[in-house]
Amino acid sequence: MSLRRPRKVVLTVAVVVTLALLCCGGSLTVLVWGALREDSGNNLINASLACGKGGALDPDSQLPEISPYGGSQIRNAAIIINVGADMGLPPRAWVIAVATAMQESALNNLGDLGARNDHDSLGLFQQRPSSGWGTPKQVRDPVYASTKFYSKLKTIQGWQKMALTQAAQAVQISAYPDAYAKHEPLATQIVNQLANGAANAVGDSVTLQCSVSGAIAASGWTVPLKGPVGSGFRTRERPNHQGVDISVDRYRPIYAVASGTVSVVKCDEDFRGRKSCNVDGYPGKGGCGWMVEIVHAGNLMTRYCHMVQQPFVRKNQQVVAGEQIGRVGTSGNSSGPHLHFEVHLGNDRSSAGAVDPVQFMQGQGAPLGNEG
C-alpha cells in the first residue's frame, strides 16, 4: 500500500441549494463538488457549509486548546482527522478514529514503555508490529498509523451504523471492548472544533443533508422519525412537559436516536395505577403508555412514549443509531397518535435532568421537525 502525507488543502466548491438555506433547519440539500488544491498559505480550517462540512486542515497551524489535552495531543488529533479527510472518509470515521486514539494512547504518540508496554504496542493506536500493523518505526508515524486504522475500518461491513465502541473494537480487537464509548462526546467536540463543525454533518463527503430519514450524523445521532414538532418543551401552556411531541400517523416506525443500551421497556401505569397500554389513551389518563428508555454514551438518556404496541426491544439490549424500536401510537396520556420524545442528562430520569430535545438534537446534527 502506498502511503502519502495528507495535503494542506482548501476545498473549492460549487454549491446547489434547494429551497431555503436554513442551517440545520429542515428543507436543505447541499451538493458539493470539491476540487482539492494546494494550500497557498491559509492555515485556517476550511469549508463550513450548512450544518458543518469540514475541509482538511494544517496540523502545524494554530490549533484551539481543548481540555484536558495539550498542544501535541491536539496536533495528533488534527493529523488523524486530516488523514481521514485525505482518504475521502466521512466525518463519522474521524470521530471513531479520534476516540480510539484517546482510549489507546490519550492522543500521545507512545514509544516503548518498557515494563508498562502492552506487548509490543506502539504509537497513537497502540498497534502491534508482531500482529502485522507495520514496523515499529511505521506504527509510530501518526500518518501511517492513522492510515492503517482507517484502512481496516473500511473493511468492517456496516461500520457507519455501528456504535462507536463496536466499530473501534472491530478494528482494534482490544481486551477492553467497551472502553471506547466514554470518549465519544469529547471526540465529537474535538472533530467539531478542529474541522469546523464536521461532526454534525449528515451524509458523506459528497452530499450533505440536514436531517434525512435514516441518515446518521457523524456525531452518531439521528432523528427518531420525521414529522412536525407540535407541543414543545416546557411551554407556557404545558410547563411540566419534559419533552416534545412529534405528530405523525399511527404505526410510523420509531428509531433509536443513537447507539446505546435499552434501560426501560414497559407499559407505564396511569394515574389510577392501571397498566392498560393496548388501547388508545386520552388526555388526563396519565402515564407514557408503551415506552422505551435508552442510555447512550456520555450517560445521556432518551425516552420514547405512547407506542401503539409492545416495543420491539427488550431491557439490556444493545441498539444502534437508526434501529427501529417500536411504532407510533396513542397509548397513555395522549390525545392522538404522536411520539413524545425526551432527552435527559446524566441518566437522570426526573424532570431535573430533562433538556429541550429540539436544541439538543440540533447540536448533534440531527435536527427535529422535518416533515414526514
Report which DSSP code applies to 205.
S
Residue 5 in this model has a pLDDT that exceeds 60 = no
Q: 327 forms bridges with which residues in the sheet?
A: 253
Residues 23 and 114 reside in one and the same domain = yes
User: Is there a domain that residue 105 lies in?
Assistant: yes
The whole-angstrom separation of Cα 282 and Cα 4 is 63
107 and 169 assigned to the same domain? yes
40 and 158 within one domain: yes
Based on the fold, state whether residues 129 and 177 are members of the same structural domain. Answer: yes
Tell whether 167 is covered by a domain.
yes
Is the pLDDT reported for residue 36 higher than 90?
A: no
Residues 147 and 86 both lie in one domain: yes
What's the distance, Cα to Cα, between the start and end of the chain in Å? 45
What's CA 115's distance to the chain center, in Å? 37
Both 152 and 276 in a single domain? no
Least confidently predicted of 92-101, 197-206, 303-312: 197-206
Q: Is the pLDDT of residue 126 over 50?
A: yes
- The reply to whether 19 and 131 lie within a common domain is yes
Same domain, 204 and 250: no
pLDDT band at 368 (very low <50, low <70, confident <90, very high): very high
High-pLDDT (> 70) share of the chain, %:
76
370 within some domain: no
Question: Does residue 188 belong to any structural domain of this protein?
Answer: yes
d(CA 54, CA 307): 38
CATH number at residue 332: 2.70.70.10
Co-location of 270 and 201 in the same domain: no
Query: Residue range 123-137: average pLDDT?
Result: 92
Do both 261 and 204 map to the same domain?
no
Judge if 63 and 191 occupy the same domain: yes
State mean pLDDT over 50-65. 58
Domain range spanning residue 187?
A: 9-209
Does residue 230 belong to any structural domain of this protein? no
266 and 170 share one domain: no
**Position with higher pLDDT, 121 vs 213:** 121
Q: Which residue has the cell 486504522?
A: 149
The band of 219, judged by pLDDT with boundaries at 50, 70 and 90, is: confident
- How many domains, in total, are found in the chain? 2
Which alpha helices (H) appear in the chain, and where do they start and end?
71-86, 91-105, 136-139, 142-154, 164-172, 184-194, 357-363
- For 315-360, the pLDDT digits (tens) are 999 888 888 999 999 999 999 999 999 999 988 889 899 999 999 9
